[in-house]
Structures are given as structure tokens and as C-alpha cells.
Amino acid sequence: MKNIFIIGIAGGTGSGKTTVVNQIINELPPDEVCVISQDSYYKATDNLTYNERSKINFDHPRAIDFDLLVEHLTKLKNNTIIEQPIYSFVTHNRTKDIIKTHPRKVVIVEGILIFNNKELRNLCDIKIFVHADADERLIRRVKRDISERGRDINEVLTRYQETLKPMHEEFIEPTKNFADIIIPNDRFNTVAIDIVRTVITERL
């Protein structure tokens, strides 16, 4: 039975989590790492109309199916294949498709709220929080939502003021205290990535 090392990567929207995930992936052989995204584990909303779904606060821990996420990480840790759900931001619901995910030596779980759940935190061998300035995060979020999700600037800014900012302050920023490493992502941070690589190499 192989040892499986779970890395948790959290941080606010637009903080640069994906960049850090990719930096870690680039340090490892492709067949030794897999990524589990919190975004795949939003709760199924089959019982709601599209209108009701679009009003869900996706930045609140209640929106996440932590039970399934914990169950899947536990299975991977026990060398069992999982069927990861696929979530659509267009329909605000899970699709009928799944991704068969095989256990790998390194499992990266990433998302804004992953340190909000104690069971999930306890499954992580190392917890990384990616910190970025609020202005920087807003700029990245605006660019992404307009180019990738077809939103308009007013919609993005309203959502930021009414939901993203208060949720970040209440549920995301405080979880920095659970992190083993905090990466300030205002530059390409090679030192932090080197530390992570050293820890992984020692463990595996």
C-alpha cells in the first residue's frame, strides 16, 4: 500500500491558488499527482429552479458538500478510486458526468473554503494559504469573470461588494491561522515552493 500525501491549498478568490497548484505539479512526475477542486463539490441542487440556484451564496461553507469531499479524500488515502462530480457554473448544478480519479502519491485539494472543515483539515498533511492583496484579488476576479464566465462589470462588482468581500472576511481570511505555510502571492514565490517540494520528497 503506497503512502499518500495530501496537500491543502486555500486562499481567497483570485489569490493565485491555481498558480501555486501548477508550480507544485510542475515539480512532480505527472503520474504521481492529482488535483481535487472544491469547486467540484458544490452541493447538488436538483430540487431548486434555475432562478433559486442563481441566488445561492457560493462563498459560504454551507454551499459545499464537505461530507462527500471528506469521504472521497479518505478513499484516495486508502488507495480507492473515486468518482469525482463535475459542477457546472452555467447551470449552477452538478452535471450527470463524473471524473474517475485514481489515488496518486500526492493529492492536492484546493479551494477557498477547504480549511473551514475540521475533518478536511485533519486529512491534509500540509496546509498552504495563498495570500494576496484585496485589490489584486478583485482585479483578477473581474478579469476572469468577464472573460471566462461572460459576466458584465456591474454584476461582478455588485457580487464582490455584497457577497465575496464579506464572506472572505468572515470565512476565508481567518482560516489562514490553520495554515502551515502562508505564501504571499505578490510575486513568483520560489522559496515557499522549494519548502513544499522538500517536505513532499522527505515524506515520499
Over residues 101-115, the pLDDT tens digits come to 999 999 999 999 999
* Maximum CA extent, the chain: 52
Mean pLDDT over 27-32 rounds to: 87
Q: 86 and 40 in contact (C-beta within 8 Å)?
A: yes
The residue type of 137 is: R
Q: Is residue 13 exposed (0-12), middle (13-18) or buried (19+ Cβ within 10 Å)?
A: buried
Q: What percent of the chain has pLDDT over 90?
A: 47
Q: 183 and 131 in contact (C-beta within 8 Å)?
A: yes
Higher pLDDT, 160 or 87: 87
Closest CA to 20 of 204, 196, 201, 203: 196
- pTM of the predicted structure, to 2 decimals: 0.89
How far is it, in rounded angstroms, from Cα 44 to Cα 193?
35
